[in-house]
Amino acid sequence: MLATPERMGDLHPIRVLDMGVPGSVRYVDTGEPGWHPVVFFGGVGTSAGAFSLTEFARALREMLGLRFVSVERNGFGDTRFMSGLGFAQPVNDVLGVLEALGVERFSVVAISGGGPYAARLVARVPERIVSIHLAAATSGGELLHRGAAAAMLADLEAIVADPEGFWDYPPESAVRLIPGFIEASRREGRHALGEPGRARQALRHEFTLLCSEALPDLRSVPAPAFLYWGGRDDLVPLEQARAWQAALGSDVTLRVHPDSGHDVQYLHWHEILTDIAGSAVT
């Protein structure tokens, strides 16, 4: 269950890096030199600022010495939309930011729709990955066409019309006990999906991309992987965790929390941070 909640702090500023062609990249960097770097992929339709929603546990993150970097994806937040981009471009953007920051080896965290992007980054530079942490992270491909997630994402007009509502959690979800979380998540919805025309294009493109292909074969990646799943998650059910297990191979730890749904990433964020720190020192 959720540890004693801390109040949401100030959101981290979004920085801009000029990458030449195709243009500037926006990212968040918590910016502690010498701390263990972690690349963060937020869920479907999120800006780089979505990382700040985890900072109710900032005191623990800082105590563990973890530096997070999150790079904005095509068409969300303040990033312009470009049609025709595949998985290669967001991976290029992340690697470009890491190069500018002087980061060589790092851990990877992905939430929900960030999973397939994380998989392509890991596949590109397997020797640089320290550990992999996937929290209710979709495996994409054919499995994303099924069930509640497909139904929700198929109604793009509803999401565009109410970007704050896209972040709604059920009344019984314990994320509502985190002081300031709901207000911060609604701000993220407004920021990430604030321009209806662009948001519509970006969401359609992202969903199509995530459904386009199965996970790459990651069994040769030497880094350990940790999966965090909610037993009541209808959006990304446990069958998708099984798909990750098959793609990742043998060194995979699956943690299933029976009473969590698609909020497991926040309810057990302290556990995720602890796992990252433990992997970084082994």
* pLDDT of 153: 73
**Structural domain contains residue 150:** yes
Write out the two tokens for 65: 């010495």
Q: Is the bond leading into 170 cis (omega within 30 degrees of zero)?
A: no
What is residue 135's predicted lDDT score, i.e. its pLDDT? 98
* Averaged pLDDT of the chain: 91
* Tokens read off for 27: 């990212």
* Any domain includes 2: no
pLDDT of residue 10: 54
pLDDT grade for 7, boundaries at 50, 70 and 90: very low
Kindly report the pTM of this predicted structure: 0.94
pLDDT for residue 13 is more than 90: no
1, part of any domain: no
Q: What is the CATH number of the domain that holds 70?
A: 3.40.50.1820
Mean pLDDT along residues 155-181 = 92
Average pLDDT (185-208) is: 94
CA distance 50 to 193: 12
> Could you tell me if 206 and 229 are in contact, meaning their C-beta atoms sit under 8 angstroms apart?
no
Q: What pLDDT score was predicted for residue 180?
A: 92
Show the domain range for 54.
15-280
The angle at the Cα of 140, spanning 135 to 145, to the nearest 5 degrees, equals 120
In a domain, 3, yes or no: no
Mean pLDDT, residues 255-282? 94
Q: What are the two backbone dihedrals, phi and then psi, of residue 107, each rounded to the nearest 5 degrees?
A: -95, 165
The answer on pLDDT for 22 being more than 70 is no
pLDDT at site 18: 85
Average pLDDT over residues 69-86: 95
Does residue 32 form part of some domain?
Answer: yes
So what's the pLDDT on residue 21?
Answer: 63
143: pLDDT confidence band, cut at 50, 70 and 90?
confident
Residue at 10 is within a domain: no
Counting the structural domains of the chain, the total is: 1
